[in-house]
Structure 1
Amino acid sequence: MLVLFLFLAFMCFVVSYLVFSFYLHAKYTDKEAYMEKGQLVDDKKTMLGAFIFCISFSIIFLLIITMVSSTVGMQDFWVAIVLYLLVSYITSLLTARQQKKKYQRNDFKRLNRNSLILLIITFIFFGVTDDSIETSSSESTAGEAVEQTEEVDEEETDQAAIEKEKKAEEKAAAEREKEAEAEKEKAEQEQAAKEQAAKEKAEKEKQERIAQEKKEKEQAEKEKAEKERLEKEKAEQEKAEKAKAEEEAKQSGLIPVTLYRVVDGDTVDVFDENGEVIKLRLLLIDTPETVHPRKPVEPFGPEASARLTELLNSGEQLSIEYDDGAKTDHYDRHLVYLYVGDTSVHEVLLEEGLARVGYIYEQQRYLDDFRAKEQIAKDQQIGIWSLPGYVNEAGEGFNSESETESTVENESSTSNNSQTSGSGEVNTAPGGVEFFNNCTELNAVYPDGVSSAHAAYQSKMDRDKDNWACEK
């Protein structure tokens, strides 16, 4: 309330200042009313009236507020009057200075003097009356103190009750907080126990896994060592068996060799004991062509090459055997019998219908055995014998597809138009041309064979197509 009171005192000053401003404005605007002998004159009565009006208005207004308000006392009233007069005096001085600067005259001298006198009187009066105000204030304060004491007692009683309730609430809150902390601590302990158990379990599983891995590793190493030992023993055994086979082969006339490559069903390249490559031509058998530069791949040629490759790669010791007579042909191929272990590859190919008996020269050590194996395939009509007329039984080699159909007719016409001599006499076809059924008959007359320019030359007897039939 005191702030409001001071604010109202300030508003009184503002109103007073507006009154003075209105007076000055009227004076200096309507100059004729205040002119005397051509100069402005000071209207003292009017200024004094305005001054008294403002002071009276402010004092009466503030006094009414002081009497009405229960929170504003006379001391506050006199303070407001003193402040009002002080501000008015300062404002009057500033206004007088501004007037003198602008009009070279001062109409506020008396007003400033009166304001200062009134301010001093009020200040003195305020000092004298302050003691009485304080005395009355003390009495009223004493009465109020009694009332306040009673009120304080009541308030203290209420405060005690409130504090008691507050303490009870605080105690309850502390207990709740303690219980919450206990529960939290218990939960943390349980969580820690779970984490510890999980950690111990993980550590145990890790140790078990490490132990298992170590055991598996030891087992794997043991198995590896055992495998290596068995492989070593097997290799040593194979080596011993191979050495034994080589020794037996040497004693039996067989020569050990190592496979280099399979050319076709009856031609093979091998390494000899010195590591040199030698070309082999298998004796007394003939297989369909697969790599001839001037002939297409013949039926059962690939099968014969594949079967020979399978036999030679079976892992057993390879060995060769020479027959009596020439050891090589004019291509420098070694004429041999080829064995895989104890098995003759010649007999296997003949018995399975992948080869025929052919190229019978002076090497005939196993001719009867080979014909017996060939007859098995003939009787079963398998392999090359499953195609009628495919095998050129009247000579060497095999007939092409165009020749297959006419083979029977050629053979019948040949038997009707030729005379066969078992003692090696020359057979004469119609027209006096020499004719031989096979290389055996031709070699009986021409031991070295015949060239393509000879009348007895037949392309079917030129197995290697070098324009020389039945060469040895």
Structure 2
Amino acid sequence: MFVFIALALRSKSKNQNPRRHFRRAGIAFVTGLALFFVTVAVTDEVEEPVDQTASADEDTEEVTEEATEEETAEESKEDAEEEEAEKEKEESIEAEKEASIEAAEREKEESIEAEKEASIEAKEESIEKAEAEKEKSIEEAEAKAEAEEEPVEEPVASKEGLIPVSLYRVVDGDTVNVIDDSGEELKLRLLLIDTPETVHPNKPVEPYGKEASARLTELLNAADQLYIEYDSGDKTDHYDRHLVYLYADDVSVHEVLLKEGLARVGYIYEQQRYLSEFRAAEQYAKDRQLGIWSIPGYVNEGGEGFNSEEPEAEPETTSEPATNETSPSEGNGETEYFQNCTELKKVYPDGVSSDHAAYQPKMDRDKDNWACE
């Protein structure tokens, strides 16, 4: 177009016809303009595939970028999920580890506690077993010692001289009623001992009298079998009481009462089989001031009985050990006087009754109308 314009201008400069000049210039302009559009059109057609390819490349790049971004996002998500899973796995492993440690510690503590309890139980069982074995050993040793000390004998009931009886009632500390095998009631007076009075009609209850009766009752009630034993000499006294030694099983109740200070040795006549043993038991209580020996002057050691009341005034006596005087109250008109029971027993070992010429009330301390029994 510029070329045609230049040619038009050139034509003008050569003084050509102006009309012709403008016609040529118009044709040149139109021709140039047409060529311009043709050129532009061709250029667009040529460049259009290139633009489509570029666009396709751009689209591909965009898709690729989007795919890459999606893949990156997915990879990030997967990485995050993997990290989360790894974290959860680690937490799970840690939790399992802690749980395992706690369980192991708990099991260990339980095991230690169980072992401790088992050890304590085993120790207690061992102690009990040792104690049982010790007791058994002691019992065996005692049984062996008894077997060595004493020959094997038949039961007490079959011993010669011992008669089985059953308890009927306890009167006082030295008097008991029993029933023999035939069903007969026997009133017993225990030999060689004397206990304080509790049932005497003319005397108050004396110290340790009730204790002696209670102890005798306890011994007799606790025994499986009672036995009586007679000594040489008379079997009964003037009250028809059987003069015996009494046993609760194989225990002498005489020795128990004497050793505990609830009785004294007394009324020593011809029956003296166990006098030395009884004296030893009495001395044991006396040395320790047990029972009746705990009261100074209570036991009448110069005679019989106990000093529970003021002694009666003794009548005047002659220097002769025995004299005869006439007394209208005596049937035979004679009366014998002795200074004390010791002197009287030299003549009358069993004592005398109230109707005897030698009887004196002062010598009948238990007021049973029998002096120095």
TM-score in terms of structure 2 length: 0.49
Relative contact order, CA 8 A, sep 6+: which one is greater? 2
Whose helix proportion is higher, 1 or 2? 1
TM-score in terms of structure 1 length: 0.41
